A and B are shown apart, each in its own frame.
Chain A
């Protein structure tokens, strides 16, 4: 549904995105992740036909965003990051304008606008001036204008920013309910949001794609082993030894712990749960087991690993002066 190939965009001497390629399958919700300034908004502006790319091609709903821009625009709903709305218009009038401009027929328009306001929970402010609305309402009006023509593809730039926790939950539920009939690409830097509502993820950093695919596969790729946290109040050397001997365990790492207990992360082959064996071992040896839990391998960790990894690599590449190689200063005591 969205097919981006080798997209590059220069703003004068600055390269915002470099050689970006990714695909989004129909009916999927894909999260576009990256730190601030990574090029998320630039990519979305190109996809939404607001500005052309310097080089490369992007096809949305089967049409090229540059040469068949009108066809693309008929099939997308776009919510820019800043949620730009006409503050002097009333909510219902504004949505009616958007619906008309996007080709919703006169007959269906009123019903359609009402339906969308219901869906975005803004019916109670339909006669209010947009400029007088709170940030949360504005955000929802912005989302409403994106979906009012029932477009096949939705491009949402940070749709939940500036909302309170309850509104965030509502908007996420709304976006999730769009999957299937609609293809959604949404950018965010809130990682749990992506794991919650997206099937796939595209991670961008410093203008280039660094990882993409279904979330489970990415996690698997970056954490090939299953991991278990354990904590003992027992003889640390013996415990360590014992844990290593458990069949299937490929590594035992010490973990810093604040209360003087011995903590470890036990790595084993993926799909193999060693928690039973650890418990048996502790029971046999009369070691006092304080904690035993599976470590969640989240997207967050993947993201931090990728982005942080990139950063240190880049630093290493640029660190040529002796000052940069000096050991880091000791951390100040808390």
Chain B
């Protein structure tokens, strides 16, 4: 067996953790991912330090918190510094053949760094996120069969679960308990039309042969069908690795960059707001030849910034000093006791400009700018009593809210100082998309 493992990093864009069976979902959206988790190691509490896609993937590839790398918004002005360590570049330097089956380089140029091969079947679509798992798998499998000089690092970025939710016809009928998806008297989605992404959905993928989809349960079913379709792709990829005889020494990390709000908190089928439905992400590792204990579930908090250091350690690479994340490889192999963070901090600056500080019991959310949903600048949730984060207890517990705010501000200041920043990147960037939202609302 070769000394260094092959590494496959799978990012399932917008895959909400608790819509997977292995994370407790009641509907059978993910039988193959559940089996994948039983064969591997599942992290129950992984959080995105930044959302949505561009900030989160920048964290995944740099191992840095977004305050450190500075990319805090999707479509923002900040660019990743050229000297920032970048996972595929480092692995390429370690002798890995690197390949991204991905579209991200079309959004921001730094996502093209370090790849010897970039394969982009989305070029056959007008909208790149319409590319399917079958198209991506087809290219990824053919590449593995023919190209790499071992070892290889392959990144596959699946868009199926991201809106627009247009699952293949074979998924019709799944996960919808009945009713009338297009009842014109159902106005539960009307508020969504006030948002530019909602209006876009109304004008395109929510149209049906019977009229406009109006039932949110049906939209949620479409989302779940996309998960089920992705799940088939994960099975196909696993099968291909077995067939090629390389499954044993291939480390696979399956994760999401962020989750998805269904109708939670008046955020409809999108990924903003710093509630757990969006910042709690799945993370599962499988490496049959890595001496991992199959079926182990890790409860401690982890962050997506931990992925790059873990993969670098698995590749036998030295870890750059600039990384914020911590490798969890010694825990996977049983060399260390399970451990994690006692609290995590994350941010967003696209539709809202906010930070969160989350402990096992509480979450505190701090706004840098007023949000268009009219939420207060300071929110505190008791996750034990209120896991859905529906009841803001900041007015009832001002002392706790003040303590968590101080702790959050201290963390931000410490990270800024370490990164040599003199301005809070979220305050500097502001909610980059909110002006268009305001214009849309008229």
To the question of whether A and B form a pair in one complex, the answer is no
